[in-house]
Amino acid sequence: KKNPVSAAAEKIAQKLQDAVSPGNELPGAPGPEAAPVDEPTEAREPLPPKHDQRGPDTYSPTGRTTGARQRDVAQAGAYLTTAQGARLYETDHSLKAGPRGPVLLQDHHLREKVTHFDHERIPERVVHARGAAAHGVFRGYGAAAGISKAAFLAEGVETPVFVRFSTVLGSRGSADTVRDTRGFATKFYTDEGVFDLVGNNIPVFFIQDAIKFPDVIHAGKPHPDREIPQAQSAHDTFWDFVTLHTEATHHTLWNMSDRGIPRSYRMMEGFGVHTFRLVNAEGDTTLVKFHWKPKLGVHSLVWEEAQITAGMDPDFHRRDLADAIEAGAFPEWELGVQTFPDTEDQMFQGIDLLDATKLVPEELAPVRPIGLMTLNANPSNFFAETEQVAFHLGHLVPGIDVTNDPLLQGRLFSYLDTQITRLGGPNFGQLPINRTHAPVNDMLRDGMHQTAVHRGVAPYRPHSLDGGCPFLAGEETGAYIEVPVEVSASRKARDAAVSFDDHFSQARLFWLSMTATEREHIVAAYTFELGKCWEEAVKERALMVLANIAPELCTQVAVGLGLPVPEATVSLAPVGPSPALSQLGKEWPVDGRIVGIVTDGEYDLDGVREVRRAVLDAGMVPLVVAPAGGRLDPTGDPVTVQRTFTTARSVEFDAILLAGAPAPAADAYGARDAKADDLAAVATGLDPRLLLMVTEAYRHGKAIGAWGQGGRVLEVAGLPADSAGVVSATDASSVLRSVTALLARHRAWDRFTPAL
């Protein structure tokens, strides 16, 4: 074959060469002009990088750059080459002895392309394998200045961050909306080095000592024989462990609550879980627990909705985060701290601060906001950033130190260790996403995947040969100095403090803090999960644990399982509720909420247009749903259909507005697949998929609004027009007003009468 390099292509290549010369900084710099997107016929320069395609090493959301150049982005040349830079004339055919002949072993390009591909995957994280991440910025309020000398917490200081949210149990390809704890890990690229806050959306943990982590994870992961079930705790080994090992009771109860099925990563709290020690410039110390408080409030799915979503859109949370950021609806969290005096016993009002199965109620120690985090950029490359990011609790900066919590201490070992396997050696800190923004001058050398070309001859200290030995920093020059806490003389023992023996009081506190609706969800969750277990002994033991939390919880679950109600084995703890733990009863901004607008394609399209605009103006996302795709009223002011009855399902929407009463679609779906009940609906002239959508939304407590002919849908679906959260009116805008007000409370739970 002939090499198609032409004189024109050479000219373009030269132009590109000029464009990538040093100094051609990316941000703001004029990149090469965008090429038209028609089919290429000759070599041409690459498309300029999009805003978010700049490498994380060279781009930070604060706009700070560290020397981005055109050559740092993918496809920075006019010609496709091998990894060694040889230009390629063909990449679609192996080198063969004739067009129908055998492939030749000498084909280096084939072997290089396929071998590289063969090694594209790395081991997934042993836990938290499935996640999604975003870049952002953290701005300190200065409120922590009195208790921590950390420079990034000072007033107005802006620090780039990278946050990865995750589920714990599922593998990389599992669904987002499973019932599980969610990881909430934040990397702060501070001027004093990286600080990682590796937390969860639940403030307590299953175990008190890291030595038990392999046990709880082996129990929670799929059964080792068949490797099922995936990404969930509804199976025997999990319940076997958490009922034998009752320190898991509190965390398990949170998992069975609505916290186990968040509506969105943007609507989750985050917790550092452990108690940390802050130190100020004077050396005074304060114990703290870190909290992330989402500006959008804490909201959840309902279990049926979560299950349907896992099938309809397994990427629901990942998509939600990326879409919101792309649309400019940047999610925000305030970082806050609960503070406690650094006393010798490290207890606060009877609560052991070193026991990770305990929280401190906010009513006893309020959360003081100390900064704001805004996530404002999606990763450019999932693998390079989200997959390769490596967090570690030992990544600390001056002003923040650890405590003796035995869970925290074990984690300090585990994270560094796991990255060595996962990222193939000790140099993962050099990966762009993990690189600190502070200057590095270490004496670490060589190892797998070493990408730095270290110069000089003396990577040791002290030395006299290599142009000056680096100084050691001190207090005044920003050294990280561990707080010199007293270590009490004691006997070596595999043991824990007596206070660690209390496994039920805080579980009871959490239960008592729930509203009737939330309790009903908890009962349903336990009944579902235990109902999925096979071993009767496990179920019976689980009921004994529930009896120690609350008899009414135990009784309800026992009824669902058809098992006798056991007696409590401990006396019920005399604890009060902590109202701050409930998610319900407050109003929150509606930014980024998704509103489905259902139309038959004809009725009151002006109303549809008006409502669509109003939804956008309110910072929400309108999705027009019609019987078929395309554009409605193409000759007038066209309305684009975003979902059809084939692609839409109720779970995608936070609220549904009904503008018209669409008839069965042309594909006669209703007649072919509908069940008997639905057929009755077809007879009424309505598409059964629409009726399913509306009844599902109703069951899930969602706001439903209808105007004009939309009211017929409510009637045929049998939804009471006077039911809470169902709004009917004659005009579109008053319906939207009421629905928006309802959305601020997330769901219309007063629609149902809870059994508890």
Would you list which residues are annotated within the binding site? 125, 164, 213, 411, 415, 422
Tell me the C-alpha to C-alpha distance, in Å, between residue 316 and each of 134, 166, 301, 481, 496: 15, 12, 11, 43, 41
The rounded distance, in Å, linking the Cα atoms of 444 and 428 is 12
Concerning whether 135 is annotated as a catalytic residue, the answer is no
What is the token pair recorded at 69?
A: 């150049």
Q: Are 154 and 142 in contact (CB under 8 A)?
A: yes
- Of 109, 128, 250, 521, the active-site residue reads 128
| Residues placed in the known binding site for heme | 125, 164, 213, 411, 415, 422
Q: CA angle, corner 62, sides to 60 and 67, nearest 5?
A: 45
Return the CA Rg of the chain.
Answer: 29
**Which of left, alpha, beta for 80 (phi over 0: left; psi -120 to 50: alpha)?**
beta
The rounded distance, in Å, linking the Cα atoms of 171 and 131 is 10
The rounded distance, in Å, linking the Cα atoms of 217 and 701 is 34
Q: Which residue in 611, 615, 590 sits closest to 599, CA to CA?
A: 611
| SS3 labels along 520-542 | HHHHHHHHHHHHCCCCHHHHHHH
The rounded distance, in Å, linking the Cα atoms of 497 and 346 is 12
List, as one string, the DSSP characters of 28-74.
TS--PPPPP-SPP-S--PPPPPPGGGS-TTTB-TTS-BS--BGGGSS
Name the DSSP class of 244.
Answer: H
Any idea which residue has 């082996």 for tokens?
A: 218
Q: Which residue in 92, 182, 87 sits closest to 128, CA to CA?
A: 182
Q: Which residue in 79, 10, 75, 8 sits closest to 47, CA to CA?
A: 75
Q: CA angle, corner 676, sides to 673 and 682, nearest 5?
A: 70
What is the token pair recorded at 658?
A: 């009904």
The rounded distance, in Å, linking the Cα atoms of 10 and 635 is 48
The rounded distance, in Å, linking the Cα atoms of 381 and 690 is 38
> What 3-state class would DSSP assign to 89?
coil
Main-chain dihedrals φ then ψ at residue 163, nearest 5 degrees:
-120, 135
- Of 51, 93, 119, 200, the active-site residue reads 200
Q: CA angle, corner 219, sides to 213 and 225, nearest 5?
A: 130
Concerning whether 200 is annotated as a catalytic residue, the answer is yes
Query: Please, which residue, 95 or 416, has the CB nearer to ligand HDD?
Result: 416
Any idea which residue has 């336990």 for tokens?
A: 526
Query: Please, which residue, 57 or 180, has the CB nearer to ligand HDD?
Result: 180
Query: Please, which residue, 268 or 623, has the CB nearer to ligand HDD?
Result: 268
Q: Does an H or E element contain 553, and which?
A: helix 551-561
Tell me the C-alpha to C-alpha distance, in Å, between residue 491 and each of 209, 353, 488, 495, 754: 18, 21, 10, 10, 53
Q: Which residue in 601, 607, 589, 599 sits closest to 729, CA to CA?
A: 607
Q: Are 316 and 263 in contact (CB under 8 A)?
A: no
List, as one string, the DSSP characters of 250-296.
HHHHHHHSGGGSBS-GGG--EE--S-EEEE-TT--EEEEEEEEEETT
Q: How far is the CB of 147 from ligand HDD (least distance, A)?
A: 22
List interacting residues with ligand HDD (CB under 6 A): 125-128, 131, 164, 166, 183, 185, 198-200, 205, 210, 213, 273, 356, 389-391, 407, 410-411, 414-415, 418-419
* Bridge partner residues of 707 (DSSP): 729
- Strand bridging mode 332-341 / 368-377: antiparallel
* Bridge partner residues of 167 (DSSP): 182
Q: How many residues does the chain have?
A: 756
Q: Which residue in 316, 382, 323 sits closest to 162, CA to CA?
A: 382
> What 3-state class would DSSP assign to 375?
strand
Q: Which value, to the nearest 10 degrees, does the dihedral of the CA atoms of residues 109, 115, 121, 123 take?
A: -150
Any idea which residue has 């009737």 for tokens?
A: 516
- Taken in order 504, 506, 509, 514, the sign of the CA dihedral is negative
What is the token pair recorded at 273?
A: 């879980």
Catalytic residue numbers read: 128, 200
